[in-house]
Amino acid sequence: MIEVKSLVKVYETKKGSVTGVEDVSLKVEKGEIYGIVGYSGAGKSSLLRCLNLLEKPTSGEIYIDGVELTSLSKGELRKARLKIGMIFQHFHLVSAKTVSENIAFALKAAGTAKTEINERVLELLHMVGLSDKKDVYPAQLSGGQKQRVGIARALANNPSVLLCDEATSALDPSTTRSILSLLKKINRELGITIVLITHEMEVVKTICDRMAVMQDGKIIEEGNVYDIFANPQEPLTKDFVNSILQFELPERLRKEREGKLIKIYFQGEIAEQGVISDVFQKFKVRGNILHGKIEYIQEIPLGIFIMEVSGETLEIDRAIDYIASRTRNLEVIEDAA
């Protein structure tokens, strides 16, 4: 669906050349939601804007639906862009136009017949839940409503790809959840491929199928969202995952422990099984759960628990070995008593 090959984007500045994207290659399958996460300056916005040639790559190839965009003439590119919708962080609505007129503008620019425009606008407003706002101006809308207008406008010409440039960064958490739910609905019902960039790992966890992590213009890690959350490899990826899943045990709970403190990671089906209760039946140990949580990523559980295991040393070690064999991911906290 989308394939990027050896993409490079270099910016010329007064201080010299700055590389925004460095030798990036990736594939996005048809109908999936693909997230690109990274801190400011990582190159993710440059990469996204290259996908529809808002930024012209310095080198490399970009294929969408098998068409190599950098080889197209201006006329061919304009036609190809009709199938690539884009949603912006700050909405980019025309303040002097009503909601309906903002959406209709995209249709007029594409040469849609006047007789079809009004019907299509009403259809889009219904899709994004703003049927009662068609004659309202952007200044009268909340941030979430403005973004819904932006989504309707991006969908106006029936695109096969939707690019989202920090689409929820300017929104509060509740509104963010509603916008992500809308994007997921659009993806499922219309089969539109979505590529979104964000610095918020919660967004990726909530909506994406696969993801890439960018740093210094490069993709440093890529894969299925659940796999990356469950087993991040790169230090930056671990930092992002820790912002969602990890937690530190308060110092007072570390003191005066009788046994060993362990951190246990439960992945997939094992998170729904009675591993801990089995331990207490099989071994002469006592257990005290000090902290824990379960997240559901792609509807699959991922649990993390910190617990104290106490008793005779041999029994503790046997119990820990048993838990490790069942979970395949256990860490003995070094400063445990």
Tokens of 292: 């824990």
- Laid out side by side, the sheet with 16-28 consists of 16-28, 2-13, 59-64, 67-68
User: Could you tell me if 156 and 301 lie in one domain?
Assistant: no
Residue 281 makes CB contacts below 8 A (sequence gap 6+) with none
Shared domain check, 160 and 197: yes
Alpha-carbon span 124 to 277, nearest angstrom? 52
Among 220, 242, 264, the domain-final residue is: 242
The CATH number for 154's domain is 3.40.50.300
Whether residue 101 lies inside any domain: the answer is: yes
Tell me how far apart the alpha carbons of residues 109 and 106 are, in angstroms, rounded to a whole number: 5
The domain of 194 spans 2-242
pLDDT score recorded for residue 227: 92
Rg (alpha carbons) of the chain, rounded to whole number? 25
**Residue 335: its pLDDT value, please?**
46
Give the CA angle between residues 228, 253, 240 to the nearest 5°. 20
Q: Render 307-332 in DSSP notation, one character per residue.
A: EEEEE-HHHHHHHHHHHHHHHS-EEE
> Is there a single domain that holds both residue 237 and residue 104?
yes
Domain contains 53: yes
Task: Look up residue 58 and give its amino acid.
Answer: T
Asked if 216 and 42 count as a contact pair (C-beta separation under 8 A), the reply is yes
DSSP string, 40-109: TTSSHHHHHHHHTTSS--SEEEEEETTEEGGGS-HHHHHHHHTTEEEE-TT----TTS-HHHHHHHHHHH
Question: What is the domain-level CATH number for residue 299?
Answer: 3.30.70.260
44 & 165 share domain: yes
Give exposure, 34-50, as e/b (b: 16+ Cβ within 10 Å): bbbbbeeebbbbbbbbb
Question: Is there a single domain that holds both residue 37 and residue 174?
Answer: yes
Let me know whether 52 and 82 are in one domain. yes
301 inside domain? yes
Q: Is residue 48 part of a domain?
A: yes
Q: Classify residue 194: in a domain, yes or no.
A: yes
pLDDT score of 160:
95
Residue 158 confidence (pLDDT): 93
Q: Is residue 323 part of a domain?
A: yes
Residue 225 near residue 211, CB atoms below 8 Å:
yes
337 falls within a domain:
no
- Could you tell me the pTM of the whole model? 0.88
Decide if 322 is inside a domain.
yes
Residues 177 and 123 in one domain: yes
* Cβ atoms of 214 and 38 closer than 8 Å: yes
Boundary of a domain, candidates 218, 242, 266: 242
Integer Cα distance of 118 and 223 in angstroms: 42
Instruction: Name the domain boundary from 197, 215, 242.
Output: 242
Domain count, the chain: 2
Same structural domain, 143 and 214: yes
Could you tell me if 261 and 162 lie in one domain? Answer: no
The two tokens of residue 133 are: 């706002």
**Residue 331, pLDDT score:** 84
Residues 52 and 139 in one domain: yes
Please check whether residues 25 and 89 belong to one and the same domain: yes
State the Cα–Cα distance between residues 269 and 201, nearest whole angstrom: 23
Q: 71: which residues sit within 8 A by CB, 6+ positions away? A: none
Q: Tell me the average confidence (pLDDT) per consecutive run of 10 residues in the chain, 337 residues long.
A: 95 90 95 95 94 94 94 91 91 93 91 90 95 94 95 95 92 93 95 95 94 96 94 92 78 74 85 83 88 86 87 90 86 64
- Same-domain pairing of 70 and 165: yes
Nearest to 307 by CA among 248, 263, 267: 263
